[in-house]
A and B are shown apart, each in its own frame.
Chain A
Amino acid sequence: MQTNEILETIKMIDEEYLDIRTITMGISLLDCMDPDIQVSCQKVEEKICRLAKDLVKVGNDFSKIYGIPVVNKRISVTPIAMLVACSGGNPVEYALTLERCAQKLGVDFIGGYSALVQKGYAAGDNELIESIPEALAKTQHVCASVNVGSTKAGINMDAVAQMGRIVKRCAEYTKDDNCLGAAKLVVFCNAPEDNPFMAGAFHGVGEADCVINVGVSGPGVVRAVLSKADKSLRMDQIADLIKRTAFKITRMGQLVGTVASEKLGVPFGIVDLSLAPTPAIGDSVAYILEEMGLETCGAYGTTACLAMLNDAVKKGGVMATSNVGGLSGAFIPVSEDAGMIHAARTGALKLEKLEAMTAVCSVGLDMIVIPGETSASVISGIIADEAAIGMVNTKTTAVRVIPAIGKDVGDELDFGGLLGAGPVMPISQISNDVMINRGGRIPAPLQALKN
C-alpha cells in the first residue's frame, strides 16, 4: 500500500467532507398487517425494533474502525398506506409508532409514511395522504412521500391537486417551527423503491423482507479534484476526473454495505451513488458546477454541466459496486447546499433554471422555500410540471417545496442541521386553477415509435 494513497484517503475524509451519508435499513411491514390497528402498530414496533436493534451501534462501530463518518442511520418501511388499507383507523397511530421506534433505536430518520397513487387510489391511500400534515407535525423523525405519477401509469392529477393542498397544510401545521413539516414530505414521479435518502425513502413491495441500502456523499471530494485541475482541460477530461473520483467514493459505500450487512445478518441491497451536498462550505454540488467554469450556479451552461456531472458520477460508480440503485446521481437541494443558497440569495439561480436542471439530475425541485402566500393550486402546478418531466424522460423527479407561512421574498427559513437554510425564492403566481381542478389523469406517454 502506498503512503500517498493512504494520505489521499485521509485527506478526503478530513478536508473534503467524504462521508457515508446513510446506512438505511429497509424493512417490510407486510407481515405486520392486522384488521385491528392497535395490534398492527404493536407488530410494526416489535418487528422494527427487533431487526434494527443493532443498526446504530454497527454504524458507529464502522465509523471508529474504518475512520470514516457514518452520518445518519435510517430506516425505511413498506408504504404505510398498505397497512392502513387492512387495519383502517387513524393513520397517525402508525406515525406515532414509527416515531417511538426511531427514538428507542436512536436512528436519525424513518421513512415510509407513504402512498403510491400514480394510477389511482386504493383503500387507505386517501386516509394516509390526508393525515400527512398531522403526522409530520406530531413527529420529529418520520418522513412522508407520495408517488403521483410514473412513465408506465401517467400522472394522477387528482393526487397532484390533493398534494398541493397537503404541502401547504404541512407548512401551516408547523409554521412555528420553520414550516418543517413540508421539508419532510416529497411528492414523486417514478419513485425508486430502494432509495436510502430522505425524505423520500420507503421500502418497496418488490423488495426482500429486510435489506441494507447505503448512500454515500462526496461533493466536496469531486470539487477538490476539479479545483486542482487545469482550467484548460477539455470537458471530456473533466468528465474522466469525475468518474475516477466517483469510483473511489462509491467503493466506500460498497465497503460499508458489505460490512454492515454481515454484522447485522441482513442482505446487502444497493449503493446509491448520489452526490448529496451538505450546508458545510465546500461540500456543495453548486461549487462543482462552478469549478467547471461557471461564475455562479444558475448561469447558462449550468444544465449542461449538471448533465455531465450526473452521468459521470454514474459511470464511475457503477463499476465500484456490485449493486447500484436508488436515485444515483447529483442532488440539487437548494437549502442544503452552500453554493445553491448563495446563488439563490443573489438571484443568479431561479426556479425556472432549477426546473431545467431537474431534467438532467437525479431528483427534482428539492428543498426550495417559496412564499407562504402561494396557493395550493400553484404548488400543484409545480408538482404537475415536475412529474411531467419525470414521466416523459423515464426518470425520477420529485418536489419538496416549503411554503414559508407568513414570509415573502427576501425572508429566510433556517431548518438547521443537514436541512440547512434558504431564502424565499420568487415564483410565478399566475393562476392555473381551472387546469388543476380538472383532476383525472394525464395518460402515460408512448414508449415506442420514438424514431
Chain B
Amino acid sequence: MKAVISVIGKDKVGILAMIANECANYNLNVLDVTQTIVDSMFTMTMMVAIDEMSIPLNEFAEKMENLGKEKNLVIRCMHQDIFNSMHKI
C-alpha cells in the first residue's frame, strides 16, 4: 500500500530533508518525489510505501499535519486510494 505526502508552502531550506527524516523515523519507504517552486511557493508530492510503517497511518497523518502547522507549511499524508478512486476508472 502507498500513501501520498504533499507539502505546500513558502520555500525554505530543509523541507525535503525534514519530511524524509520523518518517513525514516516511522519506517516509510520513499518511492518517488516530485517538487516544483512557482513564485517561491514550494509544492512537493512524495509517494511512500506504508506496508511496514511503525504507527497507524491516521496517527502519522496527524503528526505530519501538526509538523506543518509548526513550520508554517501545509503538510498532508493521504492514502493513495483517494486519488486512484477519483482519477482512475
Distance in angstroms from A73 CB to nearest chain B CB is: 16
A68 contacts B by Cβ under 8 Å: yes
B17 contacts A by Cβ under 8 Å: no
Residue numbers in A under 8 Å from B45 (CB-CB)? 3, 6-7
Distance in angstroms from A358 CB to nearest chain B CB is: 31
A194–B45 CA distance with the chains assembled, in angstroms: 39
**Cβ A65 vs Cβ B57 within 8 A:** yes
Distance in angstroms from A414 CB to nearest chain B CB is: 31
A6–B6 CA distance with the chains assembled, in angstroms: 9
A64–B61 CA distance with the chains assembled, in angstroms: 6
**Cβ B43 vs Cβ A251 within 8 A:** no
**Cβ A1 vs Cβ B86 within 8 A:** no
A255–B77 CA distance with the chains assembled, in angstroms: 17
- Given the known inter-chain contacts A1-B80, A6-B83, A10-B6, please indicate yes or no for A67 contacting B43, CB distance below 8 A: no
Q: Which of B4, B8, B34, B86 contacts A252 (CB 8 A)?
A: B86
**Cβ B76 vs Cβ A251 within 8 A:** no
Determine the main DSSP class of A at the interface with B: helix
Q: Which of A64, A65, A251, A259 contacts B86 (CB 8 A)?
A: A251
Within 8 A of A (CB), among B32-89: 34, 43, 45, 47, 57-58, 61-62, 74, 76-87
**Cβ B83 vs Cβ A65 within 8 A:** no
**Cβ A255 vs Cβ B80 within 8 A:** no
Q: Which A residue's beta carbon lies closest to that of B43?
A: A7
**Cβ B82 vs Cβ A9 within 8 A:** yes
A248–B40 CA distance with the chains assembled, in angstroms: 30
A291–B83 CA distance with the chains assembled, in angstroms: 27
**Cβ A248 vs Cβ B87 within 8 A:** yes
A254 contacts B by Cβ under 8 Å: yes
Q: Which B residue's beta carbon lies closest to that of A60?
A: B58
A61 contacts B by Cβ under 8 Å: yes
**Cβ A255 vs Cβ B81 within 8 A:** yes
Further pairs besides A61-B58, A67-B76: 6, Cβ < 8 Å: A6-B4, A6-B6, A6-B45, A65-B79, A66-B79, A255-B81
A-B contact pairs, 15 of them (CB 8 A): A1-B4, A1-B80, A2-B87, A5-B83, A5-B86, A7-B6, A9-B86, A10-B8, A10-B78, A14-B74, A64-B57, A68-B82, A251-B86, A252-B82, A252-B86
